[in-house]
Chain A
Amino acid sequence: MSKMAGPPSKEKEGDIFDVKRIRRLVELMNEHELAEIDLRQADQRIRLRKGGEPIIEVARPAAPAAPASGGAAPAAAPASDANLVEIKSPMIGTFYASSSPETPPFVKVGDHIGPTSTVCIIEAMKVFNEIPAEVSGLVVQVLVENGAPVEFGQPLYKIDPNK
Chain B
Amino acid sequence: MDGGQENDALDVVRLLAGAPLAQCEYYPTVGSTHDVAHERARSADVELPLLVVADAQTAGRGRGQNQWWTGGGSLAFSLVFDPRDWQLAEVVQPQRSLAVGVAIADTVAPLTPRHRVGLHWPNDVFVDERKLGGVLVDVLAGGRHVIGIGLNVNNSFAGAPPEVVQRAISLTELTGRKLDRTGVLVELLRQLQSAMRQSAADPVGFGARFDTLCLQVGRELTIETAGQRATGVCAGIAPDGALLLEVAGQLTRHYSGVLVHDR
Residues of A near B138 (CB, < 8 A) are 127-130
Total interface residues on A, CB under 8 Å, equals 21
A126 at the B interface (CB under 8 A) = yes
Q: Pick the contact of A126: B91, B123, B228 (CB < 8 A).
A: B123
Q: Pick the contact of A116: B92, B94, B98, B141 (CB < 8 A).
A: B141
A125 and B97 within 8 A (CB): yes
Residues of B near A129 (CB, < 8 A) are 92, 94, 138-139
Q: Total A-B pairs in contact (CB under 8 Å)?
A: 69
In the complex with contacts A125-B241, A126-B123, A94-B139 CB distance below 8 A:
no
A132 at the B interface (CB under 8 A) = yes
B175 at the A interface (CB under 8 A) = no
B76 at the A interface (CB under 8 A) = no
Complex Cα gap A92–B226 (Å): 13
0 or 1 for each of B212-246: is its CB under 8 Å from A? (1 = yes):
00000000000001111000000000000100000
Residue of chain B at shortest CB distance from A128: B138
In the complex with contacts A131-B141, A147-B226, A92-B256 CB distance below 8 A:
yes
A92 and B63 within 8 A (CB): no
A126 and B135 within 8 A (CB): yes
A78 at the B interface (CB under 8 A) = no
Give residues 94-132 of B contacting A (CB, 8 Å): 94-98, 122-123
B225 and A149 within 8 A (CB): yes
The chain A residues found within 8 Å of chain B, CB to CB, are: 90-94, 116-118, 123-132, 147-149
